[in-house]
Amino acid sequence: MSRKMSNQEIARLLKGMAAAYQIKSDQQFRVKAYEEAAVSVEHATSSVKDLWDDGKLETLSGVGKSIASYLDELFRTGKVKHFEKVMGEFPPAMFEYLKIPGVGAKTAYKLTKELKITSSKGAINRLKKAAKVGAISQIKGFAEESEKAILEGLGEIGKRGKEGQRMNLPFAGELAKEMINYMKQCPHVKRIDPLGSMRRRVATVGDLDFGVATKKSKEVIEHFCRYPKIKEVAAAGGNTARIVTRDNRQIDLKTMSPNAYGALLQHYTGSKQHNIHLREIAQKKGLSLSEYGIKMGKKSVKKYDTEEKFYQELGMDWIPPELREDTGEIEAAQEHQLPKLVKFKEIKGDFHIHSNYPIEPSHDLGTASIKEIVTKARKMGYQYVGIAEHNPSISQHSDKQIIAILKRKKDVVEQFKSSNKKLVRSTYLFNGLEIDIRPDGSLAIPEEGFDYLDFAVVSIHSSFRQPRPKATKRVLSGLNHPKARILGHPTGRMIYQREGMEFDWDQIFDFCQKNNKWLEISAWPTRLDLPDHLVREAVKSGVKMVVNSDAHQLEEMDLMEYGVSVARRGWAQKKDIINTLSYNQIKKLLC
């Protein structure tokens, strides 16, 4: 098929199969298998099509021989005969209704039958009309509340973007900080943590959830419900509450007494796959896990104030939330072999910051001066900082002009260094450039221009749709120059806007590893690129990476922490990240 099918669409297809089987048969475990495969596809950090290209479909948990072969058929022919046969027994409208929050297989099927709607075309609108005239509440098993819920659910579909309304990690992270600061004003909040994908630092976060350790749940919930940015309190009970903010973000809060907080934190941090695996292990030991603690046989639930003790009870080390995806971390924790993940405070510099130096680029210029950048870097405790503006535009300048601009910039940097000796002694300034790798693999400045640079970040900013062999060759060619040390935002993905490029990663990893080239982990909110799963592959291949902010404004230098989160999710340790090296070490590598 010509169009690349998104993970979201594939997940929907698998969910449809689960729903069909749910109605059709009592094979509840086959239903569960399809549902799990759907979730796995939905949460996959790489495109399933890419995995298929690489023959790695079965690395997705929950995708075995059968589903892999169906997906193979899907990618080869654009359809799956078996799926069409199974789902063909049901009105197509039913699969549309599955999109409605709160509507599952049974409800969706019942609606199509009772309302006699079959075609998927206009199914949503017809349902909306039925709800408005009160036809749904007339159906047995439904009443006013259900009808209202369906109407509200239908409204949700319209509001959501095509990929669902998830936020990128830095966006969600900043919202979470605001909430945490607000909640800490309440003296009864002993401890507060984000939960779920936010705590695991996934690149995209859905709703925000928080856990609070407190002995005074009522007061904490009340304080939560007085959050200044609130639009409405959607629900509030003894230990949980849900608010909706003015920008329509749903935020949940769950409280627990401090002596049982560890289990709550563990349970709601997930991931679901991680927890299921844990419970299976627990079950074999005769234990049962829940958000309240651990039940041993018929005895009462044992409580845990910390997660550490909870994991210890199961015979394993505490697992950093970033690793809790059931991709081997549980086994590693049992063997006491978990990696010592890189930390934000170990970062000693940032190599990708756009200053406002008038370099006349074709892409956007930064807004902060060189002095502001170095001063900020020093405040952040960095030992060094690299400025890397986009190269001067090639369409607007001759080679000669580009060389002149780069020479002048070097002069300005040298002048800055000599007139700010004290500052530069504590935080050294490297003079770099972010250079386009053009579609043919050449770099967008003339050879002589490199004489005026300490290093170059080379990146792709155009022609993202090249076939894999050509794209791979392009990157290797771009990295080939001795001054080209960093491959900027390697896949070029833009979260929710553009899929990453397809490369032969083994070739790229191999080249980087042998030639001392570094892959960037960009902390730029819509990039977070390399993505975490590729970070992990790179770590396995012994490739070094560098976490950069790609800041265009001064404050954006603070986004570095989110890049570190991506590195951590990719199991990266200090030794894998080049900008954890001291200035003296890095100087030797660059000069």
Partner DNA sequence: GCCGTTTTCGGCCCGACTGTTTTCAGTCG
Q: Name the site residues for DNA (rule: CB under 7 A).
A: 22, 27, 29-30, 32-34, 36-37, 58, 61-68, 82, 101-108, 137, 140-149, 196, 235, 237, 239-240, 272, 275-276, 279-280, 283-284, 288-292, 295
Beta carbon nearer to DNA, 135 or 380: 135
CB atoms within 10 A of CB 16: 23
Least CB distance to DNA at residue 106 (A): 4
CA distances from 307 to 72, 212, 310, 316, 579 (A): 41, 14, 5, 11, 31
Counts for the chain of helices (H) and strands (E), in that order: 24, 17
Residue 415: burial class (beta carbons within 10 Å; 0-12, 13-18, 19+): exposed
Q: In terms of CB distance, is 296 or 494 closer to DNA?
A: 296
Least Å distance, CB 248 to DNA, is 15
Q: How far is the CB of 498 from DNA (least distance, A)?
A: 27
Could you tell me the smallest distance in angstroms from the CB atom of residue 505 to DNA? Answer: 23
Name the residue among 241, 243, 240, 218 with its Cα closest to residue 229.
Answer: 243
What's the N-to-C CA distance of the chain in angstroms?
A: 49
Minimum Å gap between C-beta 14 and DNA is 10
Q: Nearer Cβ to DNA, position 64 or 469?
A: 64
In what side-by-side order are the strands of the sheet with 250-256? Answer: 191-194, 208-213, 250-256, 240-245, 230-236
Q: Give min distance, CB of 242 to DNA, in A.
A: 8
Q: Which two tokens stand for residue 329?
A: 């971390």
CA–CA distance, 477 with 53 (Å, rounded to integer):
23
Q: Nearer Cβ to DNA, position 288 or 541?
A: 288
Residue 288 or 466 with smaller CB distance to DNA: 288
| Residue 76: CB minimum distance to DNA, A | 17
- Supply φ then ψ for residue 57, to 5 degrees: -55, -40
Q: Of 46, 36, 48, which is closest to residue 9 (Cα–Cα)?
A: 48
Q: Give yes or no for a contact between 290 and 245, defined as CB atoms under 8 angstroms apart.
A: no
- Residue 240 or residue 526: which is nearer to DNA going by CB? 240
Q: Which residues contact 564 (CB under 8 A, 6 or more apart)?
A: 342, 343, 344, 347, 523, 547
Nearest distance from residue 66's CB to DNA, in Å?
3
Q: Find the helix or strand (DSSP H, E) in which 545 lies.
A: strand 545-548
Q: Residues 253, 217: contact at Cβ < 8 Å?
A: no
Minimal distance in Å, beta carbon 295 to DNA?
A: 6
**Residue 51 or 103 having the CB closest to DNA:** 103
The minimum distance between CB 417 and DNA, in angstroms, equals 52
Q: Which is nearer to DNA, 137 or 513 (CB)?
A: 137
Residue with tokens 């607000």: 182
CB of 399 to DNA, least distance (A): 55
How far, in Å, are 159, 181, 234, 266 from residue 231 at the CA level? 16, 19, 9, 30
Q: For residue 174, give the nearest of 221, 134, 214, 208 by alpha carbon.
A: 208
Residue (160 or 498) nearer to DNA, CB: 160
d(CA 106, CA 350): 53
The single residue listed with the structure tokens 């076939």 is 467
Nearer to DNA, 193 or 350 (CB): 193
